[in-house]
Structure 1
């Protein structure tokens, strides 16, 4: 960061310094909330920090663009990095400490350990981005073990990610509560994402078909639709026929196992993914067969 900039919130980079500050708060019986981010913060990220601020006495936010969750042809190099703006937003949302580790800190020389969650990582996003979730689970394990929070906050937009992290913490006995906060949308319905900044005006307009497909699913389930194969076909048709969009998937799955289902059940989630130009976007909507009552 340039010298003239004075951060409005305390920052730290090294892991020992982070742990020392967190431990000092614990000695004061403070509860610790943690929000992991890759920066380029928007209102969705801020809603997570605000939730942590409401729930916990001391809020840590990490900003780290994690290279291991990007594929070889993805946008790691151009992913937006605006740390000074992010620090201001962290302060405004109620963060007490921002952790800014470097790649060398997170992945020192000879680093060779990965965390893999099978099954849940092999479908949907895992099919298109086969190494993505291994990078996510490995870095989140490190982030949690370094910050040692009571509660960690994730956004519902990345539905599969939060499900995998829940499974990981359960399987590895990581004593952290995972709290998922609602999707934050723009006024036109587009789910907020740091990658929305890549979209042209025309691509953004086309991208609205993702939320429209989810709305279609929600309305049809509410009206009593029972043929989910037909419904998903209609979702796919809506997205694939939209100019500038390339469909990856549109499906309805079991909310816990992420397995595709053909008939309504109490806990379901509709998930969509598509490319708007070169930008890959995802979205989802929880569904319930109980809505027909």
Structure 2
């Protein structure tokens, strides 16, 4: 069994790999997007570029560290023996990628013994590289990032996302209808990872969504933490994972508004449901 390297070394490997994957998906996009299949619904697509990028990431990471494990959105779920597990979303924002919108990213996190210690989110079309290591801070393109502080709820720019499953979309619409009148405005940009990084860097003031998976937020969650924010993983009334993200300053106020909007199990107007771990559905 090989000993895990430092968080910085894992971050460097993740960043180099994400850059290569980003270059690959840009080249493939310029040739035209080919849809390889669907997942939760007919509108929840997988492209050949998603699959090719995940294959490249797997080759780079496990080629460098063959004893590591990996969890990938497109199906790679490989056990390892080193204590290091890579959590990978090859294209976060695939529908944006399909349509040619620039708001998509490659997300790679390194987890050591169950704790994320390094994370990168690379948006190749936007030219943004978010990097964080546990205890080492968070940067965008090499410059430290910080969230906006002292923003009252009524002046917060909120971001969210919506599942591609129709019942989940209807639930989300009801939650957001209660929350939207209490904030400045709402953005739905199509990449959970980039929106979380937006909170970390002050481009957004908060984020909430029912349904994201671990690969959507593992890397970006560390960026948030190291920048000075909080990312809580809770449970919705139907047992789905709910992400709540905001700066530490004012997080409690935003969370209370999320509860009152009905997002969380056992709290707010749609109380009930189950709790669970931060992994899985």
| TM-score when normalising by structure 1 | 0.28
Q: Which has the larger radius of gyration?
A: 1
| TM-score when normalising by structure 2 | 0.29
